[in-house]
Amino acid sequence: MTFAKEIACPRCARRFALNQLLNLCPCGSPLLVRYDLKKAAAAIAKASLAGRGANLWRYRELLPLEDDANLVSLGEGFTPLLEAKTLARECGVQQVWIKDEAQNPTGSFKDRGLSVAVSRAKELGVKKVAIPSAGNAGGSLSAYAARAGIEAYVFMPTDTPTANQIEARQYGAHLTLVDGLINDCGRIIAERKAAEGWFDVSTLKEPYRVEGKKTMGYEIAEQLNWTLPDVIIYPTGGGNGLIGMWKAFQEMEELGWIGSKRPRMVSVQAAGCAPIVKAFIEGKETAEPWPQAKTVASGLRVPQAVADFLMLRALRESNGTALSVSDDEMLAEIPRVGRAEGIFFCPEGAACVAALRRLIPQGWVKPSDEVLIFNTASGLKYLDVIRDNLVNK
Ligand SMILES: Cc1ncc(COP(=O)(O)O)c(C=O)c1O
Ligand SMILES: [Zn+2]
């Protein structure tokens, strides 16, 4: 049972019926699912969630799937919110939480979006899906498509971490390595999808992955007893997570589950690919494509994002900020936070820790703040990247 009622464009306000396969709005904007939150508020008591399964489908009514028979799940979501006492002490802040997304079925937060998108694709009769991926999303789609009995076509840059390439093939996906970046992979899919009959599940080019990602926002509130931290630091590529959480906070307020207080959202990018940071600093509403994008944090190697304006809007509405950190800072942070907290961070997650260490002396994060950082994937997915960088040093 879902309270989803329609799909709407956040740019031109055009509305669409739910029961159709959709990609972008004709105006070029991503589309977002809207719910009947009044009815949902009357039907769901937030206390009743406590007895539900420890996965993201605990927010079932606020996800866009009609029939449970189409639900494709591997137990994704409801990841632990871990207290980082040593890191907090080192940084001199009152409280640091780590949302550990490494503990998802394929080792990254991409499972959230792809569980929901593949379930909905199955419901709408899709037989073949295609994805351009910086790495983790390709592996994740391969797993969920296998479970759904749908064929997956995955396009990754040739220098994507080995684990992502191997896992995609082990799940039976058709993997194509592309001599280029994620946007080049996306272009190939756009050119071929009509002839091949592929449903394109590129980041924010269909309205369901972001629904899965928004559950990070619901979980943070539920795990903090329906409060939100002062600051959320998030590694930003295509923007699914940032936009999804911001949507979740709005929905939860309308449901009467939380108040109007919002965290200040921080977007972290890599110095070698920081289009959102640049646009934020320059006060722009959209971002320019980043030339020659280069970083070891493959998930952050996104030179151009279709949802740039939604990310920038969320950052500004939240009184947040955006900053970039170097690859050296990220790589130095992995063993440092590993020793401090016993968590093997991915480079993207380590970028959040590096950002936190920068924001404190700047006074942007205050000692009294409660800060939440994301570890978006397991460091185990990046063994080759970490080894090669150790060898090179
Ligand atoms: C580990 C990791 N962190 C962060 C990101 C960026 O995520 P988003 O698309 O939600 O901005 C990615 C995307 O590929 C990723 O794989
Ligand atoms: Zn539109």
What does the DSSP assignment read for 247-289? HHHHHHHHHTSS-S--PEEEEEEETTB-HHHHHHHTT-SS-PP
pLDDT grade for 392, boundaries at 50, 70 and 90 = low
Average pLDDT over residues 123-147: 97
Cβ 236 under 6 angstroms from ligand 1 = yes
Q: What is the pLDDT of residues 146-173, one digit of tens each?
A: 999 999 999 999 999 999 999 999 999 9
Average pLDDT over residues 106-123: 98
Cβ 212 under 6 angstroms from ligand 1 = no
Q: What is the mean pLDDT of the chain?
A: 97
How distant, in Å, are the alpha carbons of 12, 78, 125, 139, 350 from that of 347? 36, 22, 37, 17, 5
Between CA 344 and CA 199 the distance in angstroms is 34
Q: Which mutation among 108, 155, 315, 343 tests ligand 1's pocket best, with the greatest number of atoms within 8 A of CB?
A: 108
Q: Contact 235/297 with Cβ under 8 angstroms? A: yes
pLDDT on residue 390: 76
Reduced to 3 states (helix: H, G, I; strand: E, B; else coil), residue 294 is coil
Measured from the alpha carbon of residue 27, the closest ligand is: 2
Q: What are phi and psi of 313, to 5 degrees?
A: -65, -45
Average pLDDT over residues 122-130: 98
Owner of token pair 């994937």: 377
Average pLDDT over residues 176-184: 96
Cβ 269 under 6 angstroms from ligand 1 = no
Q: What is the pLDDT of residues 269-320, one digit of tens each?
A: 999 999 999 999 999 999 999 999 999 999 999 999 999 999 999 999 999 9
Average pLDDT over residues 203-222: 97
CA of 211 to the centre of ligand 2 (A): 18
Return the residue whose CA atom lies nearest to atom 16 of ligand 1: 299
Res 393 pLDDT > 80: no
Q: What is the dihedral of CA 254, 256, 257, 259, to 10 degrees?
A: 80
CA of 101 to the centre of ligand 1 (A): 11
> Which segments within 61-178 are labelled E, that is strand?
81-83, 95-100, 128-132, 151-157, 174-178
Sign of the alpha-carbon dihedral angle for 203, 206, 212, 215: positive
Q: What are phi and psi of 236, to 5 degrees?
A: -110, 125
Res 391 pLDDT > 70: no
Nearest residue to 175 (alpha-carbon basis) of 37, 1, 183, 162: 162
Between CA 126 and CA 170 the distance in angstroms is 22
Between CA 299 and CA 280 the distance in angstroms is 20
Cβ 29 under 6 angstroms from ligand 1 = no
How many Cα atoms sit within 13 Å of 84 on the Cβ side? 30
Cβ 111 under 6 angstroms from ligand 1 = no
Owner of token pair 């409801």: 78
Contacts of 169 (CB under 8 A, 6+ apart): 142, 175
pLDDT on residue 389: 86
Helices then strands, counting H and E runs in the chain, come out as: 13, 13
Res 209 pLDDT > 80: yes
CA of 21 to the centre of ligand 1 (A): 24
pLDDT on residue 90: 96
- pLDDT exceeding 70 applies to what percent of the chain? 99
pLDDT on residue 51: 94
Cβ 379 under 6 angstroms from ligand 1 = no
Q: pTM for this structure? A: 0.97
Q: Contact 210/240 with Cβ under 8 angstroms? A: yes
Exposed, middle or buried: residue 368 (CB in 10 Å: 0-12, 13-18, 19+)? Answer: exposed
Measured from the alpha carbon of residue 213, the closest ligand is: 1
CA of 302 to the centre of ligand 1 (A): 9
H or E, element range at 115: helix 110-123
CA of 299 to the centre of ligand 1 (A): 5
Which residues on adjacent β-strands are paired with residue 269? 324
Measured from the alpha carbon of residue 216, the closest ligand is: 1
Q: What is the pLDDT of residues 319-347, one digit of tens each?
A: 999 999 999 999 999 999 999 999 999 99
Q: Which mutation among 79, 109, 204 tests ligand 1's pocket best, with the greatest number of atoms within 8 A of CB?
A: 109
CA of 30 to the centre of ligand 2 (A): 8
Cβ 270 under 6 angstroms from ligand 1 = no
Reduced to 3 states (helix: H, G, I; strand: E, B; else coil), residue 154 is strand
Measured from the alpha carbon of residue 314, the closest ligand is: 1
CA of 8 to the centre of ligand 2 (A): 8
Between CA 154 and CA 174 the distance in angstroms is 6
Q: Contact 177/158 with Cβ under 8 angstroms? A: yes
Q: Which two tokens stand for residue 326?
A: 């170097």
Residues in the chain: 393
pLDDT on residue 375: 98
H or E, element range at 7: strand 4-8
Q: What is the pLDDT of residues 13-70, one digit of tens each?
A: 999 999 999 999 999 999 999 999 999 999 999 999 999 999 999 999 999 999 999 9
Average pLDDT over residues 230-253: 97
CA of 14 to the centre of ligand 1 (A): 28
